[in-house]
A and B are shown apart, each in its own frame.
Chain A
């Protein structure tokens, strides 16, 4: 499938990314077997995620973008094609991956710190070294003073920060995020976007984020991938040549406005208004 690579202005910024490919999605399809027969969720999809890249997938609801993320996470088997991370084929959850879901899925019976340390516990990693890392993450996400609180004592935004810390605690190269701020109110969402952008800039993680918000996609991404309706396929890919670190002022930038309009045009053509 043709992938239109649209460059709006010269991309001096994207030069900061190494050209090394970290995740390779090669002709991947997914078909669900249900009682009514086989339901295709993804048409053959091929794309690469570069090392250190922030790639955002945007698409209408039910276009299979969550399925795509679960396939990369190794939580679902692919029907056809292959996904490789650093050259090894994904058949089970990869160790170098952290996941953030739409809901924070924190364990109600664990304090914030113990929730964040859960991956360390499960993987049997040395507690002391990672405890320091967890505390550093807590500081970075502004959760200081809430380590010993229970999830229900935290606001939605803070719960999602804790879940971000949990995804990063074992220092994975890749962060997968499935509409991580979809359940938050608009103002908290913008704030979380700024912070996620900063954290990604500071840590240099490779992020694959799924969203249905076009401004969020353009604000966060180095590259935005637009998906069409079910069965999902890549409709277009856009480079976002805005300099980092970005603040909310970027949303008034002509490049930002042009990109959001171009992406929105895809959904209008499909009869979908986001």
Chain B
């Protein structure tokens, strides 16, 4: 469609006789190009949703202590931006800390599980079992153990972010083709060489898939940690604003929280593109050297 429109635009630009038609064609092409760009569609959809939200609040006369108008949320965002920005710092730190710990522990554990049947038989079932414990239920325990500082939030983020990394990394390490292993063996590759040249690169796409799930869960973990005991952070702002019926501020805090998640996800996505340009999921924007 974009190509058609562009061709049309070019053709009509050809002769001065076409006049206004040419200008309209050009504008149409620009509009279509805009419509096809990656960021435009979700933004457009978001705008539509916001308008629907605003209309529903007005039409059904929903009182502001239940659902605020989007305009009021924007006003709260503008008025309290300094407070929200300050609150987002500890939340982001706890998220990143928990995420870093997950990577640091998750990938080596996945390597052990994938590399040894014995380790797998001991560790994996317990790992799955531990995941069925709701983190919200044990978060207060961390407050008792570690106080109100950053550490309990980091641990809470870690507990949520850890599992997806392990699961996807194990799957990545284990899915190496048997012939591929035979090939390495036929070259008399050492275990380390096989890992470095074959298993690790092979597992990278799966690991990145796990990292993407993990980073968004780390945000959730950090906020859960802040819910149960904190005097700063987005979770704390959420708690306090709902206690005071400051719904616009609460919604503004949610917007900030979503933004943190989106930005962190985007960062991982960029790193993935740089780290594994060869992978199928990246090929659409990969230019091979000829």
* Residues of A that sit less than 8 Å from B by CB: 70, 73-75, 92-93, 95, 97, 99, 101-103, 105, 107-109, 118-119, 121-123, 148-150, 152-153
Contacts and interface: CB of A to CB of B under 8 A. Distances in A.
A112 to B, nearest CB: 11
Main secondary structure of the interface of B (DSSP, over half): helix
Candidate in B182, B183, B197 with the most chain A CB atoms within 10 angstroms = B183
Contacts of A121: 197
A99 B186 CA distance: 8
Nearest to A146: B290
B186 A97 contact: yes
Given A101-B179, A103-B179, A152-B283, A108 B187 contact: no
Interface residues of B, number: 23
Given A108-B278, A118-B197, A93 B179 contact: no
Contact of B183 (A105, A109, A152): A105
Contacts of B288: 149-150, 153
B187 A122 contact: yes
A155 to B, nearest CB: 15
B188 interface: yes
7 contacts: A75-B186, A99-B183, A103-B179, A105-B183, A109-B278, A118-B187, A149-B288
A109 B185 contact: no
A70 B178 CA distance: 12
Interface string B250-290: 00000000000000000000000000101110010000110
Interface of B: 177, 179-180, 182-189, 193, 197-198, 201, 204, 276, 278-280, 283, 288-289
Contacts of B184: 122
A75 B177 contact: no
Given A70-B182, A101-B182, A122-B197, A93 B187 contact: yes
A149 B184 CA distance: 22
Contacts of A118: 187, 197
Given A101-B179, A105-B179, A153-B288, A95 B201 contact: no
A159 B206 CA distance: 24
B185 A93 contact: yes
Contacts of B276: 109
Nearest to B182: A75
Contacts of B180: 105, 107
Given A150-B278, A152-B283, A153-B288, A107 B198 contact: yes
